[in-house]
Amino acid sequence: MALRLPSKVLEHILSFIDSNEDRNSVSLVCKSWFETERKTRKRVFVGNCYAVSPAAVARRFPEMRSLTLKGKPHFADYNLVPDGWGGYACPWVDALAAKSPSLEEIRLKRMVVTDECLEKIAASFKDFKVLVLTSCEGFSTDGIAAIASTCRNLRVLELRECIVEDLGGDWLSYFPKTSTSLVSLDFSCLDSEVKISDLERLVSRSPNLKSLKLNPAVTLDGLVSILSRAPQLTELGTGSFAAELKPEAFSKLSKAFSNCKQLQSLSGLWDVLPEYLPALYSVCPGLISLNLSYATVRMPDLVELLRRCSKLQKLWVMDLIEDKGLEAVATYCKELRELRVFPSEPDLDATNIPVTEQGLVYVSKGCRKLESVLYFCVQFTNAALITIARKRPNLKCFRLCVIEPFAPDYKTNEPLDKGFKAIAEGCKDLRRLSVSGLLSDKAFKYIGKHAKKVRMLSIAFAGDSDLMLHHLLSGCESLKKLEIRDCPFGDTALLENAAKLETMRSLWMSSCFVSFGACKLLSQKMPRLNVEVIDEHPPKTRPESSPVERIYIYRTVAGPRMDTPEFVWTLHKNPEIGVSRLAIK
């Protein structure tokens, strides 16, 4: 009796399954399910571009329309990964140009993208629609011009916090006069001025434009003109918000905003003068997302703005908001889901950080839906952490950065172990956690014991011994990404939990005490891990027991990569060959 589901039926069922986690599970059921699933997957996500080869991905998913790729490890954001480490988009684009010509969407994060690569994308994918580059580098505005001019059906072009060689604002004029398909454009990270008339014309002929993020070179006048042509925008990133204070400028701005009745998300606001903030009041009641993290505006002005934002779900702001401002947020922004408070003085020297643990406590108490927190402050207390955990067991992401390394609970002088225990224990759905302050191995015992759903963990200046690492690797069942810096563990816990590393995407360790010998051993014993030693000094010239500066370990089915620079040592699997740098120039 044939009990197998006919593949047509299975295909139909799978058409309702979008989540890649679910599809991954489906593909493990049996061979025929694997086959049906792979032939129907349209959106492919590769969390580590070195975990698998581009050819293998193209082969497995012939119907792929959208690819998301991530390159460098997260700590690259904080300058811990030297330039030239890797993460090149080119090999992917080359392979896909040949094997997946129907690709429509490419999203890259922390990758090196060249102009040639962008030109290849433009030339190879006939129906290309979406390009999103986040924290990427290596290209110039010429590459962007190529995309703009060639991709006839381009809908989305977003450059998010990229480092771009800015050769001028001409790229904007490369959008053909006939292009009307734009839905989202983000050029906020570019420096050069674009011709405002080009922008006006582009906006006027793009009736589907919903999201527009301008760069700081766009003036208030320019903004007013753009807004009048695109009142349908739902997301807006302003340009520079400073200008001479003329009364007619203010009223024009105010009117322009009040015509944008569908605006839900607001960002940019560089150089915002507090006198211009009232121009935004008309859109506040409809705002769901507000990014004020580049606005050096003082607390009273912030409160005046925020108390009108009753629907706000996402708020990014600088610590200039002060505890008092956060108290106001707790009172007025009852729908808040995500809060990020950035330091206005990101220095160790900073003496005057105007938010304390109290600010976060206010928001935790007042905002019942709060589930994601990123908070920078100078010091914290266990009591505050315990309160936060008690009030907000629904937290999914908790990233606390106590700027002072090794700072204890400043009221009791104890480590913050108890506080993070409460977080790990109380917030059962916690998926992402960053810890800071003075922490002993105990803190990690609690995290290992309770934080069963944590997938990403970031740790700095914490712990006492190998126990800390052992607790995490043996306890955190869902752990996928672990990044640790400046912690005092050595080889033992790493080697004893080697098997765990194959269940994770990656492990980053820098300024710890892991020895070169341990890296070699790990690499030899675990064929499906790439163990990369990132060190300016050749490891061969030092004793095997000496600690190595940075180690990046990740699982892969693609073997050691071929594009390592001089300072990256990929330990060869064959112990006879020893250490080599497999580099093909």
Partner 1 sequence: MEKVGDYDELVNLKATELRLGLPGTEEETVPCGKSNKRALPDDTEKEIESTGKTETASPPKAQIVGWPPVRSYRKNSIQTKKNESEGQGNYVKVSMDGAPYLRKIDLTVYKKYPELMKSLENMFKFSVGEYSEREGYKGSDFVPTYEDKDGDWMLVGDVPWEMFVSSCKRLRIMKGSEVKGLGCGV
Binding site for partner 1 (CB under 8 A): 75, 77-80, 135, 161, 163, 189, 270-271, 293-294, 296, 342-349, 351, 376, 401, 403, 405-406, 441, 458, 460-461, 464-467, 470, 474, 485-493, 495-496, 498-499, 511, 513, 517-518, 521-522, 525, 544
Q: Which of 34/342 has CB closer to partner 1?
A: 342
- For residues 15 and 545, which CB has a smaller minimum distance to partner 1 in the complex? 545
| Shortest separation between residue 369's beta carbon and partner 1, angstroms | 26
406: left (phi over 0), alpha (psi -120 to 50) or beta: left
**Cβ 150 to partner 1, closest distance in Å?**
28
Report residue 405 CA to chain centroid gap.
24
Least separation in angstroms between residue 349's CB and partner 1 is 6
86 φψ region: left (φ > 0), alpha (ψ -120 to 50), beta (else): left
| Angle between helical axes of 247-258 and 220-229 (0-180°, round to 10) | 30
Question: Distances from the Cα of 574 to the Cαs of 184, 231, 522, in angstroms?
Answer: 49, 63, 12
- For partner 1, the closer of residues 124 and 492 by Cβ is 492
H-only helix segments in 88-140: 90-99, 115-124
The two tokens of residue 363 are 């928001």
Minimum Å gap between C-beta 331 and partner 1 is 28
CB of 319 to partner 1, least distance (A): 11
Q: Name the residue nearer to partner 1 (CB basis): 33 or 489.
A: 489
Question: Smallest gap, in angstroms, from Cβ of residue 551 to partner 1?
Answer: 15
Q: Which is nearer to partner 1, 179 or 192 (CB)?
A: 192
What does the block give as tokens for 246? 């003329």
Q: b vs e for 524-543, b when ≥16 Cβ sit within 10 Å of the residue's Cβ?
A: eebeebbbbbbbeeebeeee
Nearest residue (CB) to partner 1, 67 versus 521: 521
- 312: tokens are 């706000």
Number of neighbouring beta carbons within 10 Å of residue 503: 12
Residue number, 104 or 441, with CB nearest to partner 1 = 441
Nearest to 508 by CA among 483, 527, 491: 483
| Distance in Å, CB of 502 to partner 1, minimum | 13
Amino acid occupying residue 515:
S
d(CA 172, CA 162): 17
441: exposed, middle or buried (Cβ count in 10 Å: 0-12, 13-18, 19+): buried
Query: Containing H/E element for 481?
Result: strand 481-485
Q: Is the CB of 500 or the CB of 505 nearer to partner 1?
A: 500
User: Residue 128 or 489: which CB sits closer to partner 1?
Assistant: 489
- The rounded distance, in Å, linking the Cα atoms of 478 and 549 is 27
Closest to partner 1 by CB, 547 or 565: 547
- What is the rounded radius of gyration, in angstroms, for the C-alpha atoms of the chain? 25
Select from 416, 454, 408, 413 the least CA-distant residue to 435: 416
Q: How far is the CB of 128 from partner 1 (least distance, A)?
A: 27
Least separation, in Å, of the C-beta of 376 and partner 1?
6
Long-range (24+ apart) CB contacts under 8 A made by 523-527 are: 523/571, 523/572, 523/573, 524/571, 524/573, 524/575, 525/498, 526/498, 526/499, 526/501, 526/502, 527/573
**Cβ(430)–Cβ(453) below 8 Å:** yes
- Residue 510 CB, nearest approach to partner 1 (Å): 9
Nearer to partner 1, 61 or 294 (CB): 294
Q: How far is the CB of 65 from partner 1 (least distance, A)?
A: 30
